[in-house]
Amino acid sequence: MATLGELTFVADFVMGPVTKFIASQNIGFFTAFSLFADYYLYIILPVSLLYVYKRIGKKKLISLAVSLLFVLILVTSLKALFHQSRPCNEYLKVECPADYSFPSGHTSAAFAFAFFSLGTVAFPFYYISAFLIAISRIYTGVHSLNDIAGGVVVGIFSYFVAEKVVESCWRYIGG
């Protein structure tokens, strides 16, 4: 059975070059997008709900709120558990955050939003936004590819668990 150290070596061997390649790019538009998304992610995505609110219903919105709570709990817990240092290096394009890097909270929240919109006309917007936000976290030099992969898993997992919890509660209360 592989040890955590061996798995980390494999992840670094495979993901390290990809992370460095993405972070080493210098594309003006993407730098601007990354900085914008970094500061406004938690405003833009909720405000965009105003556009789709009438079409999705209360139960789906509650599922999103619960999933974002799960994301917050899981990301905070996993960061405390793994103590993964950020890859802040010569490619850093923003100030290096002081907390740990695994998993990416921005990516987790963005993918929770993306899967919340599954089956709606808004899905392509949220999915492309989630993908770009994930890549932007590597591009700015504050996350590695494994941080992003962890964020994707946490975001999708959180949404689907929240959806099941809300569905069960909805049936229980007769909603």
Query: Is residue 48 included in any domain, yes or no?
Result: yes
Chain segment 4-50, per-residue pLDDT in tens: 444 455 555 556 788 888 877 778 787 787 778 777 766 777 777 77
Question: What is the per-residue pLDDT for 40?
Answer: 72
What pTM was computed for the model? Answer: 0.82
Indicate if the pLDDT at residue 3 is higher than 50.
Answer: no
Q: Which of 52, 53, 62, 174 shows the shortest CA–CA distance to 124?
A: 52
Q: Count up the domains in the chain and report the number.
A: 1
Report d(CA 124, CA 8) in Å as an integer. 33
Query: Is residue 124 included in any domain, yes or no?
Result: yes
Query: Is residue 22 included in any domain, yes or no?
Result: no
Chain mean pLDDT for the chain: 83
Instruction: Note the helical H segments in 25-96.
Output: 28-56, 58-82
For 125, the domain range is: 29-173
Question: What is the per-residue pLDDT for 1?
Answer: 44
Question: What is the per-residue pLDDT for 56?
Answer: 75
Q: Measured between alpha carbons, how far is residue 11 from residues 7, 46, 80, 145 in Å? A: 6, 34, 20, 9
Query: Is residue 73 included in any domain, yes or no?
Result: yes
